[in-house]
Structure 1
Amino acid sequence: MEISFQHTNPSASHDSTLLTITPRDGDPYRYLIDAGQSVSPNAFLGTDESLDGVLLTHAHSDHYASLGQILDTSADVPLYTAPGTATILEQVYAEAEQYQNLGNLEAITSALTGIETWTSLSDGIDVLPLPAGHTPGAAAFLFRIDDLEYNEETITVLATGDFTTRPVAGYPGLSIPDPIDIDILIANASTAESFQPTLSEALETILERTLSGATTVVAASALTGVHVAYLLGHMIDRLDRAHPIHLVGQAAKHYIALGYDVPSVTPHSHFDHTDEVLASGAITIAGPEAPSQGSIRRLFGVIEDDPGAVFVQLATSSPDIVERGVCATHYFEVPNHPTEEEFLAFVDEQLPRHLVFKHIQTDQAKSLASSLENLFHWENDDMNTHCLYDDGSWSAPRWLSDSGANLIRQRNYRESGMRIPLDKPIEKLPAVSWEKGTAELEDEGLAVDHLLGKFESAEPQHSPQQDVATSDGGQTSTVDAIQDQPDQQADAVKEETNEKVQPQIDREFQSTVNDRLEALESSVSDLVAESATADTVETRFDTIETRLDAIETTVERLPEQLARDDPSTVTGTVMRQNDLILLRVDPDAVEDLDHLLEHEAQVELSVQEPDTSANE
């Protein structure tokens, strides 16, 4: 038996691979792993050659861009993918097809075969999809290839696709079931050194602005939107807050199809008016990453000139960065890949005989491979066919000398020890579960302790005691609910409610403002202590402290001002002329109230019958 690989788009995204398995006495089996940009079977298949299957790791366009064209010209070729990706692939493709020509959607749907456990591809070739982290529904593919008859071996090939060892939105990260050893690792080696701190910073920004009452719009790709909604919903639940998260458009469709039910999150596949999904103190997540098309263009158009709104871009590709508009704008790059250290630790743990680098430039692959002296590594970018296993022996890259290849074989054998063949029937082989787990936000890379420390102590803007459920499941204030009661009860209930709620509002409002002022003053003090000693810098901080002192003094007097229950009264003479009623008052009588009477201010007048008994 011979096992070989071939790059199929090294000059594009370099993510797609042809795996060819040739039995000693039989025709080759050819499996294409991912169909990214610029993948054409004519470039790597001969006239009489065909594919036996396509395996799709996840529903990102750089991995499925050529899928429609390939399946349209390859009749009866099955398309294998994991359950989550199989569930959403049709709607992913239909949405993307609106903006680019991706080929025949019908060919994809008819070829689609969702698999979640060991599946036989052909005689002696089985495959198992493994949760791969990275994005909801992503999979790696573990092949078991039978060469027991001639060489008493079973060869394992792991094609990772994009992966993380961290879980994502409840799906597990990539992990290999015990006691399986990996012989050939075809690994997407894209790395991201700052994903975890940047993700936490992005969510901190979103939470901070939302908890302060801003209208917050988040632009993200659909699957990233699902991931972020998952994290925010569970984080808000940990904070014991009530801030709605509206998931809009394609992200909402994925959320529903994948069976999520996250606290505070409401999916909106469609909406008629932006008021349905935009509100102060709410988070709205839509796509794509830039407001050039789709739902996000419509939503950004509403908030663009609102100084109280926030627009946050969460980018995994390279969108146009939004810098226009009156609203606050923030940009974060959050491609979910392992760090270089995590990638090398995963390779070291598996210790394959061969490592084929994918989804990475050649110079970067060589840099990563410089520390790998105990295995064969392939960081080439050609489209030639390269043999990895040949009838019981492990073929070395042709650019290695025989002595160098033998040294690597010895190191690999010495460090890996005995490898156990997977010679059991597939129904008895170790498998994995595709059930989504509980929300372990820390494991997903979120700085939960930091976020809890920053936001947990701050009081909610609205006291829960002031909220009453409405018939449609919403919330309304107690005072608003009073207005809906019968007239004969309204006055009594309103008076009782004002007596109970008003002091509570005063105390909570003052407490909240005081807490935030203290936090600001503490931050200013720290900045003064840590900042440069330039006079201009310290002068600015002194100015800020002075203004904070003035605000705090005003807040301390607030309960006294709010506690005024008896309105000031003045008397005057009513003058009528047809339907016009004028009230003439002595200017001296309103002198004390003059500071309250602004132009076009709304005031409340109480009319009382004059007491004429004294004149009688």
Structure 2
Amino acid sequence: MNIKCQYANRSKTSVLLTVEGVLQGQSVNLLVDPGPGVDVDGLLGQDEYLTGILLTHLHMDHYATLGENMRDGAPVYTSQTNIDLLDVAVDDANNFVDTAIDKSEIKRSATPVDDGVTIGGKIDITAVPAGHTPGAIGFYLELSSGGETESILITGDFTRRPVAGYPGLPPVDADLVVLTGATEADFEDNLTEAVATTIRQGLSGSPALVTATALNAVHFATVLGTAIEEGDFEMGVSVVGKAAKMLDKLDLTPPHVTAIPKYAPEAVLSENPITITGPDLPTEGGARKLFRQIKDDPNAGAILLSGDEEADIGSYNCTLNQFRFSNHPTETTVDEYIELVNPREIYLTHQKGSELRRYRDKYSAIVWAPRERKCYTLYRNGEWVAPFWVKDKAAKHLLKTTQERSNIEFRPAEGHTLDALDDVSLAAEGLDMSSITFSKPSHPVDAKYNTTSGAEPKPIRTDGAVAETPTAENTPPAPKSERVLEIESAIAHLEELKEEITDDTTVATVEKVTSKHVLLRPINGGTEGIAAGDTIEIGRSRS
């Protein structure tokens, strides 16, 4: 029996696992997560077949080319939860990725592995919970041939902590771990701060709009609703659009959360103080329609849960808070997990360049972290082998160490569920409830914001407390007029332009033209022939 592995795309989120010698006359080829840039036709020889696709979870970077790489009648192995979500996820992919995934073909090919499957009577595949996102799984493979039995754990993106009640990755006894090297040091802090900011905005009486990818929106809504319940904050949360459809598919019912799959943008913000929608950028998709309703309201708040921290969302007057929402384990968690499992070999994925190479000498195991997208043999004729950059003496020592020492004897079918738990533990999810200590209002916060009535929303405080009822001592300043806001925006823009002026000339965009005024104009002046959006050249005088 031979076991081979190679990266299937540049980002190394996808791999092709090949097993030779278990099926008569042909190899077993398993594509793990068809992410961007995967072309399985270029990976397989003319006489090779795709045996199956292992789909760990439904984040776009792990299934973007699913439709392009379905061939040879290969099943798509994944969890039943992911199968339930595929309809909504495929619609999302077809909207945002330059591809077309045939939903009918996926439905025919989708095969749940919750109770395990067997390929050719020689390879047993069992799903293990993986945390990271609702429905995410890892794969545990046991391969038998000629008296040999070897085991492989494919982690996929994972966390040890649960997510929206779905359990995290358990330890399993594996000879080879195909390990996702993606880590995140600040997720728990970001989650806690994002929940606190959202609740604070909701308590202010002015709307809070949270934007996230659909599955991240489901995750956040579940944690947020549970936090509202435990904190006795008495407010409602609306989850709208694709995220609402996924919430319904998952059959999750977090407290204080209402799913609204179809909605009118002008009305949905008045349903509850907090609204959660996707995608993560408020200038795209359904989020754009809702963001338009609040972006000019200085009392409203937008909370962006996004991995893109430099995205340009244009002009706005509302409060904007952005949090990186990347649910991966810390580097310490990965190290502790590998020490616990103690595999003979590790094949690193989801890392590039120096971040990939830093893993090479990190563990007491053979670590494969190649730069090239070449096919490497990890196991040959009964022996695990080392890459060329590991010296023979070191390789023998590492393999001898892992053979002599085993920390666990766990098989994934024993005592673990892939389904969501009945109760969500905020502490286990990574939320520090003790830090959400600002005061609660003396009455429930109900639906009091109307985007069409013209009524002024309640002021919001920025010190973590709820806005107080105005009195002679604490009356807040009157909201700035639209004209004042325009002038302040113009001044800020001029300050930016001033920094860019060269010794000779610079260019500037005319922001606004009226019968009497132009924001920027040529030296010889006049508004004749100038319109908003024109680009003009401004000369700079010399002394």
Q: Which residue of 2 aligns with 1:432?
A: 416
Distance 2:244 2:290 in 1: 15
SS of structure 2 residue aligned to 1:22:
strand
Post-superposition offset of 1:214: 1.9
Task: Indicate whether 1:460 and 2:445 are aligned.
Answer: no
- Which residue, 155, 160, 175 being the options, matches 1:165? 160
Letter of the structure 1 residue corresponding to residue 384 of structure 2: W
Where do residues 155-304 of structure 1 align in structure 2 (5 Å cutoff)?
155-176=150-171, 180-275=172-267, 277-279=268-270, 282-304=273-295
Task: Compute the displacement of 1:400 (Å).
Answer: 2.3
Deviations 1:65-93 (A, max 9, x none): 1110111xx14111111121111112211
- What letter is aligned with 1:359? H
1:546-585, Cα deviation, whole Å (9 max, x unpaired): xx99727x99xxxxxxxxxxxxxxxxxxxxxxxxxxxxxx
Contact 1:290-1:319 within 8 A present in 2 as well: no
Conserved 8 A contact 2:33-2:53: yes
Q: 1:102-121: CA deviations, max 9, x gaps? A: 23413222211122122112
Quick one: distance in 2 between partners of 1:309 and 1:119? 51
Mapping of residues 384-395 of structure 1, within 5 Å: 384-395=374-385
Distance of 2:208 and 2:25 partners within structure 1: 61
Note the C-alpha offset of 1:321. Answer: 4.5
- Could you give the per-residue CA deviations for residues 426-454 of structure 1, whole angstroms, max 9, x where no partner exists? 9xx53621221111011101011221xx1
Match of 2:526 in 1: none
Letter in 2 for 1:15: T
How far off is 1:227 after superposition? 0.6
What is aligned with 2:322? Answer: 331
**What residue in structure 1 maps to residue 84 of structure 2?**
87
Query: 1:252 deviation in Å?
Result: 0.2
Q: Distance in 1 between matches of 2:410 and 2:425?
A: 35
Map 1:414-453 → 2, pairs under 5 A: 414-416=404-406, 430=414, 432-437=416-421, 438-451=423-436
Question: Which residue is equivalent to 1:40?
Answer: 39
The 1:408–1:99 alpha-carbon spacing in structure 2 relative to 1, beyond 3 Å, is: closer
Change (3 A) 1:369 1:397: closer
Against the structure 1 CA distance between its residues 218 and 144, is the aligned structure 2 distance closer, same or farther, given a 3 Å change threshold? same
- Structure 2 residue aligned with 1:119: 117
Give CA-to-partner distance per residue, 1:326-368, whole Å, 9 cap, x none: 1111111110001111111111111111111100113112223
| 8 Å contact from structure 1 (residues 222, 251) kept in 2 | yes
2:283 touches 2:313 (CA, 8 Å); kept in 1? no
SS of residue in 1 equivalent to 2:131: coil
User: Is the Cα contact below 8 Å between 1:287 and 1:296 reproduced in 2?
Assistant: yes
Kindly indicate whether residue 366 of structure 2 is the aligned counterpart of residue 366 of structure 1. no
* CA 210–281 in structure 1, closer or farther in 2 if over 3 Å, else same: farther
Q: Percent identity?
A: 32
**Cα offset for 1:316?**
3.1
Deviations 1:212-271 (A, max 9, x none): 212100111000100111011111111223211010100000000000111111111111
Does structure 1 conserve the Cα–Cα contact (< 8 Å) formed by 2:33 and 2:62?
yes
Structure 2 unaligned spans of 5+: 449-458, 477-543
Q: TM-score, normalised by structure 1?
A: 0.70
In structure 2, distance between residues paired with 1:162 and 1:448: 26
1:329-408 matches, within 5 Å, as 329-372=320-363, 374-408=364-398
Question: What SS is found at the alignment partner of 1:260?
Answer: coil
Q: After the TM superposition, which residues 528-607 of structure 1 pair with which residues of structure 2 at under 5 Å, given as runs?
A: 551=473
1:165–1:519 CA distance, 2 compared to 1 (3 A): closer
The alignment yields a C-alpha RMSD, in angstroms, of: 2.7
CA distance in 1, matches of 2:233, 2:303: 21
Give the C-alpha shift of residue 15 in structure 1: 0.9
Structure 2 counterpart SS, 1:442: helix
- 8 Å Cα contact 2:55-2:63 kept in structure 1: yes
Report if the CA contact (8 A) 2:113-2:127 is conserved.
Answer: yes
Q: Give the aligned residue type for 2:473.
A: I
What is the match of residue 485 of structure 2? Answer: none
Q: What amino acid does structure 1 have at the position aligned with 2:425? A: E
Tell whether the 8 Å contact from 1:18 to 1:30 is kept in structure 2 after alignment. yes
Match of 1:490 in 2: none
Shift of 1:202: 1.1
- 1:279, distance to aligned residue in structure 2 (A): 3.0
Are residues 204 and 421 of structure 1, via their aligned partners in 2, closer, same or farther at CA, if it must alter by over 3 Å?
closer
Cα distance between partner residues in 1 of 2:43 and 2:426: 43
Cα pair distance change 1:340/1:518, threshold 3 Å: closer
What is the TM-score when the length of structure 2 is the normalising length? 0.79
2: CA distance, partners of 1:142 / 1:332? 34
SS of residue in 2 equivalent to 1:223: helix
Task: Give the letter for the 1:62 counterpart.
Answer: D
Contact 2:94-2:101 at 8 Å conserved across structures? no
Distance 2:282 2:430 in 1: 27
Distance 1:549 1:459, change over 3 A: same
Quote the residue 1:131 is aligned against.
129
SS at match of 1:160: strand
- Distance in structure 2 (CA, Å) of the matches to 1:146 and 1:421: 18
Residues paired across the two proteins, number: 458
1:141-188 residue CA offsets vs partner (Å, 9 max, x unmatched): 1111113x434xx21101111101010000001003xxx511000011
| Partner Cα distance (2:316, 2:282) in 1 | 12
**Quick check: which has more Rg, 1 or 2?**
1
Residues 474-516 of structure 1 show CA distances to partners (whole Å, capped at 9, x for unaligned) of 99xxxxxxxxxxxxxxxxxxxxxxxxxxxxxxxxxxxxx9xx9
Higher relative contact order (CA 8 A, sep 6+): 2
Given that 2:130 and 2:168 are in contact with CA atoms closer than 8 Å, whether structure 1 keeps it comes out as yes
Paired letter, 1:364: E
Partner of 2:141: 143
Distance in 1 of aligned mates of 2:463 and 2:33: 55
1:564 corresponding residue in structure 2: none
Greater share of helix residues, 1 or 2?
1
Partners of 1:518 and 1:198 lie apart in 2 by: 18
